[in-house]
Amino acid sequence: MSKEVIPASDLTIWDDAQAMIEKARSEGIETAHDRLQQQTPHCKFCEMGTTCTNCTMGPCRISKKAPRGVCGADADVIVARNFGRFVAGGSAGHSDHGRDLIEVLEAILEGETQDYKIVDEAKLIRLAGEVGIETEGRPVKDIGHDLMDCFFADFGSRKKEVSFLSRVPQKRKDIWAKLGMTPRGIDREIAEMMHRTHMGCDNDAVNTMVHAARTSLSDGWGGSMIGTELSDVIFGTPKPSMSTANLGVIKKEKVNILVHGHNPVVSEMILAAARDPELVAKAKALGAEDINVAGLCCTGNELLMRQGIPMAGNHLMTELAIITGAVEAVVVDYQCIMPSLVQVSGCYHTKFIDTANKARFTGAIHFDIQPADALEQAKKIVEIAIDAYAERDASRVDIPCEPVDIMTGFSNEAVIEALGGSLDPLVEAIASGAIRGAVAIVGCNNPKVKQDSLNVGLAKELIKRDILVIATGCVTTAAGKAGLLVPGGIEMAGPGIQKVCGSLGIPPVLHYGSCVDNSRVLQLVAALANTLGVDISDLPVGASSPEWYSEKAAAIGLYAVASGVYTHLGHPPHILGSEVVTNLAVDGLEDLVGATFFIEPDPVKTAEMFDVRIRAKRKGLGLPE
Ligand code: XCC
Ligand code: SF4
């Protein structure tokens, strides 16, 4: 059955995206938007979370006529089990990424690589101190070894809690201890979730959900935090700098390489290789002006934060970037890489190159990049891109816009430095009401939502109300394209933000990095709570993922709530088939952890909900509303 053609202007708020959707249609190239249409309507049971495929007595689907699966599990148990596994998947993704950074640190310390170095030694020493390692008068190498062992041990099952709980306010830790939510080991919580959700184990929905929260906390305060902090140690802690965003960063006259995925380990080497004078000369010999490395999704965010590379786009721009016809190579590591990119690349001269054994794509050129010879491998990849430049069909190139400016690089270290050495000025701005509160807007695009309409819509509504916005993940490119990531963006903000951000010369929306960098947000709210001597749940803060799609986003949302942060989702996870689980998520968790989820598709109403919450929290702290 053929379906109606949806106008591109209904699919995305961006001109560059609309132009490329039209180009894809005229060239007969399929995108995620087309495939969503093919998949619609979705299975109602799966949408409600009431399908179980956990054993071969099933699969089972819960309905009025058949209220229990073959084993006797009801809708509540099935929904909780499905959601628990969903969160475990997300936690595994972030945390395995974190582990890869420990392995690079190990390779550096063991002298197995010259391509990676410890760039921020001071941070390594500071981190070691935070997790209780003796640092006084010891060689950096020894401290590094101990830190590496400590982080590896965080993945196991011998510890009572993961190391970075040293950052968590005591009140919060007491809540977790009482509920049995204290994350002990990262791999342990994930494995235990798989165990609990096997047939015949944890058959109490609330109990399963508590462990889901614990699993997510092992991600936020464990795997993700290790990922962020070691990336800073190895590649440098971000500092504010300027860059550019949108499809206009792809340059007609240059060899264009897009880096996509999440981990900076490979993409940093691609960037280094692309700056190699010999390779640049080779590109020039073919008539190109230079080699241009631009980012997609979170690998893009990682390199944007530290190296200032331009951002071509977020999740729903990944196919469309290739459709410009000017991309020589897409180099990927892992996560959020649509397998369709292989097919889209195949419609052009574009080489699709995967680089991790745990994330291979049929039809891709494969490199198994290891720390020992990463740069050499990266140079080979850049050469492939240069060779592809000669095959580019100029008649099919269409770069639909000029890039916009963005400001990036807001690590907590950079923020504290900008504030003059401590968080006190921020605390004062919050106390006076100039900044009434802060909301982190994080996460993805989802073709079920008009691209970036909610991400941008919510950010604008919040800053108008003098609520500072922190952006990570795919929201950052959206905010950047909307002009919110430059100091001039304060024109769209309320008077308080205009004054505070204006005097500091910073944007009303701060780019805090990739999705694992939501751990920076956790660290910030913990530090604020500790400064004020309160719990995180007492702060006038919130989190939101308006257009989320992934298991990782669910893990982030859940660790935010479990950490005491009121959290918005633009659409619900697949849990509505259980009243017990749904009520727990949007209400019951308040009594347990002092925060809940709320689901709201409208950005203005969402901003109002945050406003009400922030008023109440300010009142609780004795501050003017
Ligand atoms: Fe979502 Fe993470 Fe992926 Fe973007 S890249 S689509 S998870 S926001 Ni981090
Ligand atoms: Fe059905 Fe129970 Fe097996 Fe799930 S675990 S498929 S509900 S019998």
57 Cβ below 6 A of ligand 2 = yes
- The Cα 600–Cα 20 span in angstroms is 30
Position 4 confidence tier, pLDDT thresholds 50, 70, 90: confident
Amino acid at 476: T
Please give the distance, rounded to the nearest whole angstrom, from the Cα atom of residue 181 to the centre of ligand 2. Answer: 27
**Mean pLDDT score, 583-611:** 98
d(CA 335, CA 550): 10
Alpha carbons 261 and 552: distance in angstroms, whole number: 13
The predicted-structure confidence for 48-98, as pLDDT tens digits, reads as follows 999 999 999 999 999 999 999 999 999 999 999 999 999 999 999 999 999
242 Cβ below 6 A of ligand 2: no
Nearest Cα residue to 355 out of 363, 345, 367, 365 = 367
In sequence order, the 6+-apart residues with CB closer than 8 A to the CB of 536 are: 169, 172, 525, 526, 529, 563, 564, 565
Contact predicate 202/165, CB 8 Å: no
Q: Is 492 near ligand 2, meaning CB less than 6 Å away? A: no
Ligand 1 atom closest to 335 (CA):
3
pLDDT in tens, 169-180: 999 999 999 999
Q: How far apart are CA 244 and CA 255, in angstroms?
A: 18
CB 408 within 8 A of CB 305: yes
Residue 416 has pLDDT above 60, yes or no: yes
Average pLDDT, the chain: 97
Residue 572, Cβ density class (10 Å: 0-12 exposed, 13-18 middle, ≥19 buried): middle
- State what percent of residues in the chain have pLDDT above 90: 99
Ligand 1 pocket list (CB less than 6 A):
262, 297-298, 314-315, 336, 443-444, 473-474, 514-515, 550, 552-553
Helix (H, G, I), strand (E, B) or coil at 130: helix
Out of 298, 511, 551, mutate this one to test ligand 1's pocket (max ligand atoms within 8 Å of CB): namely: 298
Instruction: Please give the share of the chain, as a percent, with pLDDT higher than 70.
Output: 100
Average pLDDT rounded to a whole number, residues 281-294: 98
Residue 82 Cβ < 6 Å to ligand 2:
no
User: For residue 495, is the peptide bond before it cis, meaning its omega torsion is within 30 degrees of 0?
Assistant: no
**SS3 assignment for 475-501:** HHHHHHHCCCCCHHHHHHCCHHHHHHH
Angle at 615 between CA 614 and CA 620, to 5 degrees: 95
Write the pLDDT tens digit of every residue in 27-40.
Answer: 999 999 999 999 99
Nearest in space to 236 (alpha carbons), one of 124, 353, 96? 124
Question: Which ligand 2 atom is at minimum distance from the Cα of 199?
Answer: 5
Which residue shows structure tokens 């970036």?
452
Beta-ladder partners of 311: 245, 295
State the Cα–Cα distance between residues 158 and 123, nearest whole angstrom. Answer: 26
Q: What gap in Å lies between CA 150 and CA 153, rounded to an integer?
A: 5
DSSP sequence for 253-282 = TSEEEEEESS-HHHHHHHHHHHT-HHHHHH
* Banded pLDDT at 2 (limits 50, 70, 90): low
Rounded alpha-carbon distances, angstroms, from residue 531 to 173, 385, 525, 528:
16, 50, 10, 5
CA distance 576 to 599: 11
Has residue 507 got a pLDDT over 80?
yes
- Residue 54 and residue 146: Cα distance in Å, rounded? 40
- Are 556 and 597 in contact by the 8 Å Cβ rule? The answer is no
Tell me the pLDDT tens digit for each residue of 221-247. Answer: 999 999 999 999 999 999 999 999 999
Question: pLDDT value at position 42?
Answer: 97
Compute the distance from residue 515 Cα to the ligand 1 centre, in Å: 6
Atom of ligand 2 nearest to the CA of 60: 1
CB–CB of 221/165 below 8 Å? yes
Which pLDDT band holds residue 625 (cuts at 50, 70, 90)? Answer: confident
Measured from the alpha carbon of residue 444, the closest ligand is 1
**Residue 3 predicted with pLDDT over 90:** no
Inform me whether the pLDDT recorded for 1 exceeds 60.
no
Contacts of 513 (CB under 8 A, 6+ apart): 228, 238, 301, 302, 305, 410, 411, 472, 476, 520
User: Quick one: which ligand is closest to 552's CA?
Assistant: 1
- Of all protein residues, the one whose alpha carbon is nearest to atom 6 of ligand 2 is 58
Distances (CA, A) of 167 to 320, 335, 424, 475: 41, 28, 18, 26
Q: How far is CA 345 from the centre of its chain?
A: 25
Q: Are 466 and 500 in contact (CB under 8 A)?
A: no
Nearest ligand to the C-alpha atom of residue 58? 2
Mean pLDDT of 123-148: 98
In terms of pTM, does the model score above 0.95?
A: yes
Is 406:480 a contact under the CB 8 Å cutoff? yes
pLDDT-derived band at 212 (thresholds 50, 70, 90) equals very high
Pocket test for ligand 1, best of 296, 319, 550 (most atoms within 8 A of CB): 550
Residue 245 C-alpha to ligand 1 middle, in angstroms? 17
Which residue's CA is the nearest one to ligand 2's atom 3?
A: 55
How high is the pLDDT of residue 241? 98
The tokens of 390 are what?
Answer: 């000669």
Residue 597 near residue 567, CB atoms below 8 Å: yes
How close is the Cα of 96 to the center of ligand 1, in Å?
16
